[in-house]
Each structure stands twice: as structure tokens, then as C-alpha cells.
Amino acid sequence: MHAVQYPHVNIRQLGIQQKQLPIYRSLFNNLQSNIILPHDDHLTTLLFIRFNTEDKTLLIAIKAWIQQFATRISSTAQQLGKCSSKRGIKHKHTSGLYINFFLSAVGYERLSLPLSAFDSRPKEKGFEKGMKKTIQELYDPEVSQWESPFQQEIDALILVGSGPFQESAIKRSTRKKLLATEVASIKRCLKGVAKVVHQENGETLYNDEQQAIEHFGFRDNISNPDFFSPSLKLIPSSMTGQNGEVAAAKAYSVLPNRAQHEDWDHRASLRTVLAPDPFVYKDETTPYYGSFLVFRKLEQDVDAFNEDMRAMALKLFGDADQHEKAAALVMGRFRNGTPITLSDKATNALSGENDFHYMKDTAGNRCPFHAHIRRMNPRGDAEKEYGLSEYYHYIVRRSTSYGKIEDEKAPKGMLFLCYQSNVNKQFMELQQKWANHQNFIHRDSGTDALIGNRENANSKWPDKYDSPSRKHFQLKEYVRFRGGEYFFAPSIYFLKNIVRISQQYSKDT
């Protein structure tokens, strides 16, 4: 039997073009969905899993279960609907649901799959260590202060989402029922091999324009990297609102400003987000890739934030009613997405929501250096200051919200999810050196105003637009870390063949 020969896939290329999709077919058939393109999640359930490996005789049964469960996992090819064989893709998930499966470092070890296969450099073993052992680097609280479910070891994560593969008019109430039915089915099939130690439920929030927001009210996931050519037409479901109806053109949330790169080129190569699946990857001609996933539960104190924005506006501008402008200084954008470096008012943000830089704001007189979006995406500031390539630190965010807006007393916040090819060089470096270093980009600029540690926070804010004038206002902590973990999204090929691959790997090693 001849070995299958796959066409060379260049994961360093910027902008996959329409004619190249057949070349990526094998990769996309084996890559889990929601990594290089979002699903437009409306509802998301996260199931945190612990395998029953105390009984060693169950190890084969657990792997057999994973192998069978892999047939339910959604691929990038299914999501795109354009990379199938000539006969097309058979969409088994007609309800519009999709499923992803992830393993933690502890999970690999409990399945007797050695972490040495990841071949990380000594200083780049964030995934192998796990989030509990990187709290000092991330300025996180002690594990004893995390929510109790996250204090224990977690082996795997199952994500069930309601993002449709095809355009759908399924109402949200119906989606909730379908999602609950699917989650209940997964829990039943886990019996005997694993248990669900915790469950989180997320739901996309929307503003009046049907644009996705987070609990503070700001547009969310605007500036994600773009892996496709502007000429490539993808995913009409990106135009659907919360009930599945087709929204207005301004509601594009998946690939904003695709053809606009005049001031900021947000294109990225697949190398940004894809990592070789260590147990099946041989060289660049094989299509077996996965991605590292960071999960963090972040609780948001909405009332305190809104109250302090009014106090900050009163202190800076002499008018508490200018609280939207104060909030824009903290975030770096107005709530509708308008970058404050472009305007001191919330304008129609779509023309420049992602196509901008800070070259005309080098002193931070419009957008402060410690504003959240400037800290997390300096748009050339870091390259200018340090010669540092920001490109290699991009992450791909797929976060969702938890908690009801209307329930004032209930905890609420963000289920932060991001993909990358290297946990240390991407998420951890962003958190450690960009968000929490008081001298990043500009001396004494302080830490990230929203998510940075408060000990080294900057309390100076522009009180006049595009002016060096400053006034003091000390922010509190509005975002609190409640627990999390690092995971890897294995290739679907690995999951479908985990029994045989495990046996072969044991023989070879």
C-alpha cells in the first residue's frame, strides 16, 4: 500500500486564497473548528473532564471512548464548507451545533502519553507546567483563591457551541434546548470512563445594533488576526444576529475591514495559531496540526466600573455625564468600537475600527499607553520602541460571556478563550510583559488599565484630547481571575486513531 502524499501546505503564508483551498483540504479536515475562523457562538457550554484512570484497566476503554467521540468533533473543513471532497461535506450536525475536544498536560499524562513529545524548550514549558504553576509569571492569585472546581486537576475540556455551519433561522430558545440535549447526551456517554467536574455556560451578549459585546458594554473580538485573503468570501453565518436572522451589513463580526490595510495590516499566517500535533506530525507535508488553548474565567465588577467611570469623568472633565469618554480612555475604544486615537467622540466606528495605528499619537495624548487595547495590540509601538516583532505575539480570541446582564446580583464576566501556537511566546508574554510591566512601550506608563496588576498602575489620564495635560484618577480592580487552565486541541486524525497511535508510540519509545 502506497503512502498518501499530501501537497505542501505553507502555514507561513499571509492570506489564504480561494484557489488554494484544495491544498489545505487535508489540513482542514483534520483541524478542529473554531480555531482559524469563529463560529459566531451564540451559546456555549464548557465541560471540564476528569478521566477515571485510577483503575488502570480502564485506560484502553478511555482511549476507545475518545476515539468514538472524535466522530462528533467538528472540523475546520465542515465549518468552512468549501474544502470538502468533490462529493461535498456531509453535515451531521444539522442542528447547528459544533463540538471541540481539548487535553491538558495532566490529561496527556493520565493517558500515558508523555509530554516530552511536545519538545518544548526549557523556558517554554507553560503548557506542560499547567496554569497553576505559572501564577507568578501571570500575576495571578494563589490557587487557594481560585473557584474550587478549578483548584483540582482537569484532564480535558469539551466545548459545545451553537454556531451554525450554514445559515440558520433557529431561534435562541430552540438553540438552548438543542444545546442542552447535546450536553446531556455527552454526559451520559461519559459514564464509566470520565466525570464532569465542572460546567460553565456562556452566552454572547449583543448591543442594540446586534453587535457582540462583553459585560462592560464594549464591542468584543474586533481585532482578531485574519488568515484569509480579502477576495475570499467565507461564512455567510457571520451575518446572523442573536436569533439567527441576517443582520445589517454593519454587523460583520468575523472578518471586519478585510480589504483595508492602509494603516494596519491585521493579516496573519496559520503559523500564528497552529502547532504540530506531536504524536502524529512528521514534517510539513503532513496535515496534522492542533492549537494551544488558554482558558481563563474572569469575573467583571460592572457596577464598580460604571460608577468609577462617572467619578473619573467628573475628575477629568468636570462632568460625570462624560463617563463614556472616560471609559474609552481606559479601554482605548468607545463602546461602539470607535478607537479614541481617531476621535474623541463615538462615531460610526466601522470605517476605522481595526485599520488604524498610533503613529500620530506617539505621546499617548489621545489614547494612553496603558489603555487596554493599546497595551494588548500596540500596532507598531513595540516594533518602534524595541525592534520587537508584534506579529509573533498575536493570539486568536474566542471568548464568550457568562451571567445575565439584567441580574444585578449574579456574578458575571468573561469565559476567556484564546488560541495560539506557543503558550509562552503568545499569551504568557502578553500577560507578563505587556499587560503587567510598568515600563512597556513607554517608561512609567504603568500596567494595563483594565487587566494589569494594580500595584504598578498608572493614575495619570489626559484631561484634554490630544494634549499633554494630565490629571490623576486611581482605578480599582474590575476584572478578577477565578481559575483556568492550558489545553491543546489535538488533530482529529489523532483523536480518531488514539488507541493505535498510543500503542505504536509506546513501541517506538
Domain membership of residue 312 as a residue range: 301-483
What digits encode the pLDDT tens for the residues 13-49? Answer: 888 888 888 889 899 999 999 999 888 768 999 999 9
User: Do the domain assignments include residue 445?
Assistant: yes
User: Do the domain assignments include residue 12?
Assistant: no
User: Do the domain assignments include residue 103?
Assistant: yes
pLDDT of residue 67 exceeding 80: yes
For the record, the C-alpha cell of 131 comes out as 496554569
Residue from 298, 293, 275 nearest 485 by CA: 293
Whether 350 and 201 share a structural domain? no
Whether 405 and 286 share a structural domain? no
Whether 424 and 496 share a structural domain? no
Whether 328 and 408 share a structural domain? yes
pLDDT band at 221 (very low <50, low <70, confident <90, very high): confident
> Mean pLDDT, to the nearest integer, of 365-379?
94
pLDDT of residue 508 exceeding 90: no
Whether 245 and 315 share a structural domain? no
Per-residue confidence (pLDDT) for residue 165, from 0 to 100 = 38
Per-residue confidence (pLDDT) for residue 259, from 0 to 100 = 41
User: Do the domain assignments include residue 261?
Assistant: no
Whether 347 and 309 share a structural domain? yes
> Mean pLDDT, to the nearest integer, of 350-368?
85
Q: Around Cβ 117, how many Cβ atoms within 10 Å? A: 14
Per-residue confidence (pLDDT) for residue 251, from 0 to 100 = 28
Number of compact structural domains in the chain: 2
Look over the chain and give the mean of its residue pLDDT values, rounded to a whole number. Answer: 85
What digits encode the pLDDT tens for the residues 167-219? Answer: 455 677 888 899 999 999 999 999 999 999 999 999 999 998 888 899 999 99
Instruction: Supply the DSSP string of 298-321, one letter for each residue.
Output: EEE-HHHHHHHHHHHHHHHHS-GG
pTM for this one? 0.90
> Mean pLDDT, to the nearest integer, of 79-90?
49
What digits encode the pLDDT tens for the residues 238-261? Answer: 333 343 333 322 222 333 333 445
Whether 327 and 445 share a structural domain? yes
What's the CA gap between 200 and 430, in Å, rounded?
A: 25
User: Do the domain assignments include residue 10?
Assistant: no
> Mean pLDDT, to the nearest integer, of 482-500?
97
CA 349 to chain centroid, in Å, comes to: 22
User: Do the domain assignments include residue 2?
Assistant: no
What digits encode the pLDDT tens for the residues 305-348? Answer: 999 999 999 999 999 999 999 999 999 999 999 999 999 999 86
User: Do the domain assignments include residue 76?
Assistant: yes
SS3 201: strand
CA 237 to chain centroid, in Å, comes to: 19
Q: Mention every residue, 6+ apart, whose C-beta is less than 8 A from residue 403.
A: 215, 410, 411, 412, 413
Whether 322 and 290 share a structural domain? no
Whether 136 and 173 share a structural domain? yes
- For residues 451 and 438, the answer to whether their CB atoms sit within 8 Å is no
Whether 78 and 186 share a structural domain? yes
Whether 382 and 316 share a structural domain? yes
User: Do the domain assignments include residue 5?
Assistant: no
Q: 202 - beta bridge partners?
A: 44
* Comparison of pLDDT for 508 and 272, the residue scoring more: 272
Whether 159 and 284 share a structural domain? yes
Q: Is 455 exposed, middle or buried (0-12, 13-18, 19+ CB in 10 A)?
A: exposed
